[in-house]
Amino acid sequence: MLFSKFRVGVAILFATVTGVVPSAMAQGAITTPAEYALIMDYRTGEILYEKNARTPTAPASMSKLMTVAIVFERLKNGSLQLSDEFDVSEKAWREREGSSMWVRVNTSIPVLDLLRGIIVQSGNDACIVVAENISGSEEAFAELMNRKAHEWGLNDSTFANPHGMPHPNQKMSMRDLAILTRKIISEYGEYYALFAEREFTWEKIRQSNRNPILGMVDGADGLKTGHTEESGYGLVGSAVQNNERRIVVVNGLDSERQRATESARLMRVAFNDFSSKKIFEAGSVVGDAQVFKGKDKTVPLITHEPVKLMLHRSMLDDVKAKIIYEGPVSAPISENQQIGTLRVEAENGPAREYALYAGKAVKEASVWGKIGLAAMKLLAKPESTDTAIAGE
């Protein structure tokens, strides 16, 4: 059912909705032992499910995605090439805490191989090589990471090192990890295939990709695991099925096995329990706005893009739409002039707003037409200022 809201002389305005608040129904329908979790639709960026997802927490090696993204950005802008070689310092060579690529001191390693060492092998030493060669030191590179986090809208993230080893200032939220993942896939797609590589050999040491969903979920093609005593077991994963992509982020799980099974389960939930409900096609007339001083009393309102909402399957039949505009709209009105917005929402659930445009031009009424309108206004009974809004 479609509702139209207006009141003469009163502006009915809503801020544009840029994200979607996950519904209470969806939240109740999904449970997870993960302390932190998030499911995101890649195409829209809508958050379909979250649990403590905006709380900064220790990300462990998942924060290596930030190091990788900075390298990808420089590859894209041409300031780095995959064939460029980075020198290995003694500090990087001595780094043996946690995962390692097994770099050798006083050697040079191509950027492409260092990326594989970070993505596939999760090498902390490879991260130090990258940091030192880009910024001069780990500390300077951490400052760069923080600047980029601010620039990229990662508002719940702070960095102290390039690899994710425990530090009081090394924090990321699940939401920020999902936003960063979406950026990596959309902006650096030519390099994203590195995340799907199943193994990499360096210094005659073959290591397998630690991402368990690569072999457990159809269409899985990335991204990164993480684990420290402080963080527990975590994963940032993405997969494509039927031309739809989802992003799943979890952290705070108890074991490597639980991380594998729960990440795969949530990815299946992301595809099986959510679907997109289309309400209107692009160009559809969704209603009318009243016109003041016009040759026509109303003007059709159209949307320039498909109107749809990503919903948990329990909510597919519970969608409403409201036309919101300041009205009546004074003529003249040009075709495709923005008039208002269409708010589409599920009860106690997600909502989005779409711009609405005039479906045709409406000319201003002639002098005699205006006289007629003025006469009608004089004869009309005065309206109460507390007139109920239609549809409420």
- Whether cis (ω within 30° of 0) applies to the bond prior to 328 is yes
Which of the following is catalytic: 23, 122, 231, 263?
A: 122
150/127 Cα distance (integer angstroms): 21
How many of the other CB atoms lie within 10 Å of CB of 334? 10
Whether 64 sits among the annotated catalytic residues: the reply is yes
Beta-carbon contacts of residue 11 (< 8 Å; ≥ 6 apart): 326
Backbone angles phi, psi at 127, to 5 degrees: -65, -40
Whether 100 sits among the annotated catalytic residues: the reply is no
For residues 115 and 135, the answer to whether their CB atoms sit within 8 Å is no
Q: Pick from 266, 63, 24, 51: which is nearest to 176 by CA?
A: 63
Query: Which structure tokens are listed for 359?
Result: 């479906």
Which of the following is catalytic: 4, 23, 51, 64?
A: 64
Q: Is 100 helix (H, G, I), strand (E, B) or coil?
A: coil
Beta-carbon contacts of residue 208 (< 8 Å; ≥ 6 apart): 120, 198, 199
Query: Which structure tokens are listed for 220?
Result: 């899985």
Whether 263 sits among the annotated catalytic residues: the reply is no
Give residue for tokens 């479609």.
2
336/338 Cα distance (integer angstroms): 6
Give residue for tokens 């795969």.
264
Partners of 351 in beta bridges: 345
The pairing of strands 36-41 and 244-253 is antiparallel
For residues 304 and 268, the answer to whether their CB atoms sit within 8 Å is no
Q: Which residues are catalytic?
A: 61, 64, 122
